[in-house]
Amino acid sequence: MARPTYGQKLVRLRETKLKEGGRPYSLQEISAGIRAASRGKVTLSAASLSKIERDVTEEPSLRHLTAIAKFFGVPVTYFVDDVAGEQMYESMAALIAFRNSKVRDRPWGCR
């Protein structure tokens, strides 16, 4: 598998790190959360986050990647370390597959 892009990694975070109630964070919520957590020192607009997700922007700064990682509660190595990042990315894929499977909706041995 090719190395996931920053955009693919951000999408994967949004698919796995859900809000209470099981819904994904909107780009506006992520932007506001980053701004609040940094007390306004780091700003990343929803439009900028969208460009990162779509891989239509220059490489995001380490400051922005760190802020995104903090928001989602993952280490910044998810974005910057190829080996660690790929391992986490694949683990999240397994979580998504499990979450989407019907097996989780049934007690063991029940049909």
pLDDT in tens, 64-107: 999 999 999 999 998 988 777 778 878 877 777 776 675 555 55
Q: What is the DSSP string of 2-39?
A: PPPPHHHHHHHHHHHSPPTTSPPPPHHHHHHHHHHHTT
pLDDT value of residue 101: 73
Nearest to 52 by CA among 15, 7, 13: 7
pTM of the model: 0.79
Task: Tell me what pLDDT residue 95 has.
Answer: 74
pLDDT one-digit tens code per residue, 1-50: 678 899 999 998 998 888 988 899 999 999 999 999 999 999 999 999 99
pLDDT of residue 108: 55
Question: All domains of the chain, ordered by start, with CATH?
Answer: 6-102 (1.10.260.40)
In residues, how long is the chain? 111
